[in-house]
Structure 1
Amino acid sequence: SADTVIKIAADPKHLGAQVGITSVLHTWGSAMTHHPHVHMIVPGGGLSADGTKWIACRKNFFLSMRVLSRLYRRLILEELAQLHKAGKLHFFGDHAGLADSAAFEAMLAPLRKIDWVVYAKEPFAGPKAVLAYLSRYTHRIAISNSRLIRFDAHSVTFRAKDYRLNGARRHTTMTLATGEFIRRFLIHVLPKGQHRIRHYGFYGNGNRAANISRIRDLFGAEPPTWKEVGDKDEGDNDPCLRCLALPCPCCGGRLIIKGTFKPTQQTKAPPRSTRHAA
């Protein structure tokens, strides 16, 4: 999905700019079914190829969803074919027959002819509402304890939503066999090394800080000048007690100094608990 947006956005026929992407993987629905999809936050524009100017998209239009969907379809199907040829796909149960190359190709053939859905829209309530929505999924698990109603060795009952219904009727309860509940929960545990949040384009980790600083300059945005809260007077201009007017070298966000010490001053260790003699 990131390759699709980056390639189309870089094409001069569409936007002709390097965009930045924050991508969040979400794999579950209310009933913990397997529903993998990706939410992407993309600014409405990007840096020119030489990095000298900001190229904004047209009002109420970012990129053609038709063009995005066709490239996304091609990239996914080509990658699946390559993985199958390299023997990196494994099939079990009713799908064991797909290990045969001819059967796998027959399965992919109709997928090349149907339309794939890629959806892009401007946030109606603004960027903050989108960030607030996605932040609820970034560090959560498939189900929280508050949704559990009762459970035993045989079944688990929990609160869920039926998205086919509207209003108060949407909120319902669901009971699953204990084994099925555990299976649904575990399919949302990410494999080792898999990240739920990824950054691409000018948000890429290697050049993120420099790119954000450059974009601030192009917009004429003043650098942040937050001051560390302490016992010093407001007129104290000691730079060691001020938050640097530089982005964080790791994430590009505001850099806040939590404490300072002089070159000849030893840092203090945490106080030791008093041990009582026997």
Structure 2
Amino acid sequence: MTNITQNKLKYIFSNNNILLDSLKFCKKNNIGDSHLEYIKLSIDTFLACRDISKGFVKFKRPLCPVTHLFPITCKSKLCPSCGYRYSMTWSENIQKHILDIEHRHVLFTVPEECRKFFFYDRSLLSKLSTAVNQVFKFVFHNISRKRKRKNKISEHSKYYFTDSDIVHYGLISVIHTFGRDLKWNPHVHAIVSLGGFNKNLEFRKMRYFNVDTIAGQWKYLLKIIENGSYPSKKIEKDARNTATKLYKENRRFFFNVGNGDINSTKGIIKYLGRYLARSPIAEYKITDITDKEVTFFFNDLANDKKKTYITMPSERFVSHILIHLPPKNFKMVNRYGFYSRHISDRLKEAIDAFRKNIAVLRYSFYQRQMYKTFGMNPFYCPVCKVKMIVWEFYHYRYPPLKKYY
């Protein structure tokens, strides 16, 4: 193995020949120009991450000689360090919104025959989260029972929902496109409340999910691939034929309901933190790097989580990572029901009683980690014991050096 003193992914990505071949692969495989430019920008900022020569913020006090220089981070989804920090910060911020009730983790997967169509038309990925929400809406709103009514009632009627129907539920979904082996494998992790509020805003508990109902509704993703915008008529025809074939087979689409309920706010945050803005591969899983190849391992779920090693050409490894980088401003995380950003004031009042009182943290995740590791708050002068202010700022993409005092 090559002796590497820096970040392993950075070392691999810093090889220009490998990078050029990987970008050619992306362009050849239906990644649009704007998406490709965003990938190039993400690589550029990732390689500059924490490099003082590329960017920094200087903090100091006006009458004190002590300065503190912070390297600028990339905040790219390629970066394991920035991804971890983002997921921890997001998880902390979402705590105050999570209700202190039971939740369940549900995994929705896409049949292998359908996965390529989400690669050809990436706009379909956002529709996966919408489809998951529609599945739970069907379950919580008891829509199957309503369809059997002899006297049909309009959805807009105040009599449409009964007192036993859960009108307002909570759902947080996270879209992933990568499997453990880095192959293209779109799927959705969902955290859903085991209960919610009826039309009178009274809490009703959901005892269990009918798995056959969920499996049947999840077949809606066949409609998604049928209506995709593909680069050729041949792929359009292939999508229609695949959907028709799977309809005829009446195959049960795979989804997995997690073992046991998540009974605490802390448990929910742990789950969310695990599935948020992760790099497609953790650095510790890369075991060997040569001039031409990369070796990594993953725990194979199909083989009782046995540790499996894969060696592949460096260009292919980088390509496998780049194809999972989402387009700019793509929403990986979506919130629905009483976890959505915009809910009525009446519903806010109803859910307040179910929120756990969580102490507001005075310091950021970064400050706490620095204090835990080095016994100091980096934003406070070690001599004056007073909070420092921004003195200078430099970023290689936005020169020149900016001085504030």
Query: How far is the alpha carbon of 1:176 from its aligned partner?
Result: 0.5
Given candidates 91, 109, 122, the residue that maps to 2:244 is 109
Instruction: Give yes or no for the alignment of 1:6 onto 2:137.
Output: yes
Please state whether the residue corresponding to 1:43 is helix, strand or coil: strand
Instruction: Give yes or no for the alignment of 1:161 onto 2:299.
Output: yes
Cα separation, partners in 2 of 1:80 and 1:30, compared to 1, 3 Å: closer
Worse-matched range after superposition: 8-17 or 25-34: 8-17
Instruction: Give yes or no for the alignment of 1:69 onto 2:207.
Output: no
Cα separation, partners in 2 of 1:153 and 1:212, compared to 1, 3 Å: farther
Give the gaps of 5 or more residues in structure 2. Answer: 1-131, 147-163, 363-386, 393-405
- Provide the residue aligned with 1:37 in structure 2: 187
Instruction: Give yes or no for the alignment of 1:89 onto 2:230.
Output: yes
Given candidates 165, 174, 191, the residue that maps to 2:327 is 191
Instruction: Give yes or no for the alignment of 1:79 onto 2:214.
Output: no
Instruction: Give yes or no for the alignment of 1:123 onto 2:260.
Output: yes
2:270 partner amino acid: A
Given candidates 128, 142, 146, the residue that maps to 2:284 is 146
Cα separation, partners in 2 of 1:90 and 1:150, compared to 1, 3 Å: same
2:206 partner amino acid: C
- Contact 1:159 1:174 (C-alpha < 8 Å) held by counterparts: yes
Q: Distance in 1 between matches of 2:268 and 2:358?
A: 26
Query: How far is the alpha carbon of 1:203 from its aligned partner?
Result: 1.1
Give the gaps of 5 or more residues in structure 1. Answer: 230-267, 274-278
- Contact 1:65 1:119 (C-alpha < 8 Å) held by counterparts: no
- Provide the residue aligned with 2:199 in structure 1: 49
How far does the alpha carbon of each residue in 1:42-94 deviate from its partner, in whole angstroms, 9 at most, with x for none? 111111124x2111112xx1x31111221221x222233233xxxx1235xxx
1:99 partner amino acid: E
Query: What TM-score, normalized to structure 1?
Result: 0.65
Q: Distance in 2 between matches of 1:228 and 1:99?
A: 52
Query: How far is the alpha carbon of 1:226 from its aligned partner?
Result: 4.5
Query: How far is the alpha carbon of 1:212 from its aligned partner?
Result: 4.7
Query: How far is the alpha carbon of 1:200 from its aligned partner?
Result: 0.6
Cα separation, partners in 2 of 1:131 and 1:9, compared to 1, 3 Å: same
Q: Percent identity?
A: 20
- Contact 1:203 1:211 (C-alpha < 8 Å) held by counterparts: no
Worse-matched range after superposition: 137-146 or 114-123: 114-123
How far does the alpha carbon of each residue in 1:181-205 deviate from its partner, in whole angstroms, 9 at most, with x for none? 1121112211223222110111111
Query: What TM-score, normalized to structure 2?
Result: 0.46
Please state whether the residue corresponding to 1:27 is helix, strand or coil: strand
Cα separation, partners in 2 of 1:210 and 1:178, compared to 1, 3 Å: farther
Query: How far is the alpha carbon of 1:118 from its aligned partner?
Result: 3.2
How far does the alpha carbon of each residue in 1:157-178 deviate from its partner, in whole angstroms, 9 at most, with x for none? 22333334447xx224321011
- Contact 1:20 1:200 (C-alpha < 8 Å) held by counterparts: yes
Which of the two has greater helix per residue? 2
Q: Distance in 1 between matches of 2:295 and 2:345?
A: 47
Cα separation, partners in 2 of 1:228 and 1:201, compared to 1, 3 Å: closer
- Contact 1:27 1:35 (C-alpha < 8 Å) held by counterparts: yes
Q: Distance in 1 between matches of 2:140 and 2:300?
A: 37
Query: How far is the alpha carbon of 1:104 from its aligned partner?
Result: 4.0
Q: Distance in 2 between matches of 1:157 and 1:225?
A: 43
- Contact 2:225 2:239 (C-alpha < 8 Å) held by counterparts: no
How far does the alpha carbon of each residue in 1:194-244 deviate from its partner, in whole angstroms, 9 at most, with x for none? 222110111111128864542233x5x6x7484887xxxxxxxxxxxxxxx
Please state whether the residue corresponding to 1:171 is helix, strand or coil: strand
- Contact 2:226 2:236 (C-alpha < 8 Å) held by counterparts: no
Moved over 6 A (4+): none
Cα separation, partners in 2 of 1:124 and 1:81, compared to 1, 3 Å: closer
Query: How far is the alpha carbon of 1:138 from its aligned partner?
Result: 0.7
Q: How does 1:244-259 map to 2 (within 5 A)?
A: none
Query: How far is the alpha carbon of 1:272 from its aligned partner?
Result: 4.1
- Provide the residue aligned with 1:205 in structure 2: 341
